Amino acid sequence: MGMNWHVVVDNMPILAKGALLTLELTAGAVAIGVIIGLFMALARLSKRKVVRAGAIAYIDFFRGTPLLVQIFLVYFGIPMLLKWQTMPDNYQYTAGILAMGLNSGAYIAEIFRAGIQSIDRGQTEAARSLGMTQAQALRYVILPQAFKRTIPPLGNEFIALLKDSSLLSIIAIQELFYTGKIIVGRTYQPLPMYLTVALYYLVMTQLIAQWVAYMERRLGKNDLG
C-alpha cells in the first residue's frame, strides 16, 4: 500500500476544523482550571485544617490519577449520579471540557500557590500598614504580582492540556486526533494523515509558546517602566 499525500490536501479543511475545536476545548478547560486553581490555591494556603485538607485531597487526586480515567469518571459518572435515562445532545463535549478543566485546576492550583508564596511577605505587611484588609492586600497587591510570575507555567499547562486533549477522542469528540483517525479509517493512509496531525499539534504548541514568551516580555517591560 503506497502513500497518497493527496489525501492530506483533500482533507485539510476538515483537519483545520478539528484543530480549531481542539483549541476551543483546551481554552474552555483552562478557563475552568484557572477558576478552580485559584480557589484551590487559596484553600491550600488556608490556616483552616479542614479547608486545607480538602484542597490537598483534590489536588492529589487529579494530579495522581490518569486524565483518561478522569474523562471516563466524568462522562459516565454524571449521568449515573443524576440518574439520566438518556444523555443530552453533545453531552460528550461538556463532559470533556469539564474533565480536562478539573484536571487542569489541580495543576494550576500548584502554579498559583507557588506564585503567591514567591511574593515577599513584606508586600503584605506594607499593604496592611496602609490600612488594607488581608483580602484587599491579596487582591490588589499579591495576586497581580503572582499572576505575572505564573504566566510561563500557565502557558506550559495550556500546551500540555492541548496535547492531552487527544484523549477526548475516546468519547467520540471530533477534535484533531479523532478527525485524523476517522480519515485514516476511510482512506487507509495512516502515515501521511497521522504525520499531518502531529504537525498541526506542533504548529499550535509553537504558536502558544511564542505568545506566552511575548506576554512575558511585555509584562517585564511594564515592570521596568
DSSP 91-136: HHHHHHHHHHHHHHHHHHHHHHHHHHHTS-HHHHHHHHHTT--HHH
Given this model, what pLDDT does residue 2 score? 66
**pLDDT score of 129:** 83
Neighbours of 55 (CB within 10 A): 21
pLDDT in tens, 141-184: 889 889 889 999 999 999 999 999 999 999 999 999 999 999 99
CA 193 to CA 181: how far, in whole Å?
Answer: 8
Q: How many residues does the chain have?
A: 225
Angle made by CA atoms 111, 117, 121, in degrees to the nearest 5: 155
What is the 8-class DSSP label of residue 174?
Answer: -
pLDDT for the residue 162: 97
pLDDT score recorded for residue 140: 86
Contacts of 57 (CB under 8 A, 6+ apart): none
DSSP string, 45-91: T-S-HHHHHHHHHHHHHHHHS-HHHHHHHHHHHHHHHHT-SSPPTTH
Say what the pLDDT of residue 225 is: 47
Asked if the model's pLDDT at residue 3 lies above 80, the reply is: no
Mean per-residue pLDDT, 37-54: 96
Percent of the chain scored above 70 by pLDDT?
Answer: 97
Coil/strand/helix, residue 172: coil
70-127 pLDDT per residue, tens: 999 999 999 999 999 888 888 999 999 999 999 999 999 999 999 999 988 888 888 8
User: What one-letter code names the amino acid at 122?
Assistant: G
Would the pLDDT of 138 be above 90? no
Single-letter amino acid, residue 13? P
pLDDT of res. 222: 61
Residue type, 209: A
> Quick one: DSSP state of residue 138?
I
pLDDT band at 223 (very low <50, low <70, confident <90, very high): low
What's the CA angle centered on 24, arms 18 and 26, to 5 degrees?
A: 105
* Helix-strand-coil split of the chain, %, nearest 5: 85, 0, 15
The per-residue pLDDT of the chain, averaged, comes to 93
Work out the average pLDDT over 26-30: 97
pTM: 0.91
